[in-house]
A = this chain, B = another copy of it.
Amino acid sequence: MLKFDKQKLVENMQGALELRAEINNFIDQIDKRGYSNVCWLGIGGTYASAMQANVHMQEKSAIDQFYENAAIYLTTGNKRITKDSLVVISSVSGNTEEVVEAVRKAKDAGATVLGFIDNKKAELAGMVDCVISYPTDEQLKFFMVGDRLMYLNGEFPEYDEFYKQMDEHFAKDIADVEEKSDQFAAEFAEKHHDDDIHYFVGAGNQWGATYSYAMCYWEEQHWLKTRAIEAPEFFHGMFEIVTRDTPVTVYVGEDSQRSLSERVANFLPQICGNYTIIDTKDYDLPGFDDKFRGTLSPFVFHAINNRIDAHIEHINRHPMDIRRYYRQLKY
């Protein structure tokens, strides 16, 4: 398999899961001390992860939590970020300009900031109240934070059961999805690697990932045009431009918004002959209770998307590391 090191992949995910002790140590203190709200703060890909964490919590929780774009916070401000807020951020480089400044502003407002910052030596690492450094698996880190908050708030009684299954099966199951989906991904890439524009439809805890897959992978890394759309919005305007040959991919997950994606998937064949439905139900996740499959859906999709990327990168002979403008020019 192209660009696939299963052992390393499993180790990465297992290592991310092991951050839970560190996360819980900090979150338990915050919970004990009390907080008024939680802000998931990001920009670009981390903004997308923030959207996912937000929906994930909204399913179960009455905790006042929201997501915010770092650049918007810096301009419009957000009076709900106060000394009683918990702000959660993630940054690989630790030097994304908008995030650094937003954290500075949140700290000035007295907020407590938890930062997943891969580069421990970045200035940002010294600015946050708690820094956790580990590469990859941003979404998993955010979910672990959200889950602990909900558990402590009495909203997630299955917490221990869920994480027992996570620790035992998650890494291997998700790596298996990469293997299982590789043939599909190769065919998908062959068919769509040169699309004029590709439409991605997502919902629920997959919406943020749909937004970022379209933008941070196809646009940014493959230089392919895309448009991402939330499943319920598809019927309120966008679908009028879909005709026989329009390439549309729908992510159908198993979380609370499954019915919204299913509605698009069920309607599409009437008007489009170039659609793809990616349904997490087609992938086994041995060792997991069915009730947890909704939470796992974005990880299944992520694994499949990884395989699509590997094939598109190869077919297009376009290394995904190339950037035209990002951090190449001043802007």
Binding site for B on A (CB under 8 A): 43-45, 47, 55, 58-59, 61-62, 64, 66, 69-72, 75-80, 98, 196-197, 203-204, 212, 215-216, 219-221, 223-227, 230-233, 235-241, 255-260, 263, 266-267, 270-271, 323-326, 329, 331
Contact = CB atoms under 8 A, between A and B. Distances in A.
A215 B235 CA distance: 11
Most B CB contacts (10 A, CB to CB) among A58, A223, A236, A326 go to A236
Given A62-B79, A76-B256, 9 more contacts: A43-B236, A64-B80, A71-B231, A72-B203, A76-B257, A223-B241, A227-B227, A236-B326, A237-B326
The 3 A-B residue pairs with the shortest CB-CB distance, nearest first, are: A44-B236, A71-B232, A220-B237
A260 to B, nearest CB: 6
Nearest to A225: B241
Given A58-B78, A69-B232, A270-B329, A240 B256 contact: no
A70 B75 CA distance: 28
A69 B257 CA distance: 12
Given A233-B43, A324-B240, A76 B64 contact: no
A226 B115 CA distance: 35
B219 A241 contact: yes
A201 to B, nearest CB: 13
Contacts of A69: 230, 232-233
A256 B197 contact: no
Contact of A76 (B204, B215, B325, B329): B204
B71 A58 contact: no
Most B CB contacts (10 A, CB to CB) among A71, A258, A263 go to A71
Copies in the complex: 2
A277 to B, nearest CB: 15
A223 B98 CA distance: 36
A235 B69 CA distance: 13
Contacts of A45: 236-237
A226 B325 CA distance: 22
Contacts of A79: 58, 61-62
Contact of A215 (B77, B98, B238, B263): B238
Nearest to A58: B76
A98 B232 contact: yes
Contact of A240 (B58, B61, B223): B223
A237 B42 CA distance: 14
B220 A238 contact: yes
Given A69-B233, A232-B69, A331-B263, A76 B55 contact: yes
Contacts of A255: 76
5 contacts: A44-B233, A75-B258, A220-B240, A223-B240, A267-B329
Nearest to A233: B44
A325 B232 contact: no
Most B CB contacts (10 A, CB to CB) among A55, A61, A80, A271 go to A80
B331 A232 contact: no
Most B CB contacts (10 A, CB to CB) among A78, A197, A238, A258 go to A238
Contacts of A256: 75-77
A62 B81 CA distance: 9
